[in-house]
Amino acid sequence: MVDLGIIDVANERSYETPDNTVGHIPETPNPGQQGKGWFFGHLESFTAGEGNIFRHLPEFADLIKEDPVDIYLQTKMQSSFMGHNYQPDA
């Protein structure tokens, strides 16, 4: 996971796109902190070649319909975070 910086694109400001990793909007809570964090990645990135870190994400929508999904995140510090996702559009 990397914090995404703000860049200039065609005279507009935009967040960077994550390249083969999960991107995090640094103004939002980090994993394990109270609140809703914003995380970005690609399902598919054929033309830009920026990976498919969230390739299994569509499978969660069906799972969440029946039960909440527990989410585990392994960080570089080897700590783990568990959260619950109740919303299929998340």
Angle subtended at Cα 44 by Cα 53 and Cα 10, rounded to the nearest 5 degrees: 100
The verdict on 86 and 68 lying in the same domain is: yes
**What's the structural domain count of the chain?**
2
The verdict on 21 and 47 lying in the same domain is: yes
Q: What is the pLDDT of residues 59-73, one digit of tens each?
A: 877 777 777 767 666
The verdict on 43 and 12 lying in the same domain is: yes
The verdict on 71 and 49 lying in the same domain is: no
The verdict on 5 and 44 lying in the same domain is: yes
Q: What is the pLDDT of residues 6-48, one digit of tens each?
A: 999 899 999 998 888 889 999 999 877 888 888 888 887 777 7
Provide the CA 2 distance to its chain's centre, in angstroms. Answer: 10
The verdict on 46 and 85 lying in the same domain is: no
Domain that holds residue 40: 1-55
| pLDDT band of 90, cuts 50, 70, 90 | very low
Q: Which two tokens stand for residue 36?
A: 């809703």
| pLDDT band of 80, cuts 50, 70, 90 | low
59, 73 in Cβ contact below 8 A?
A: no
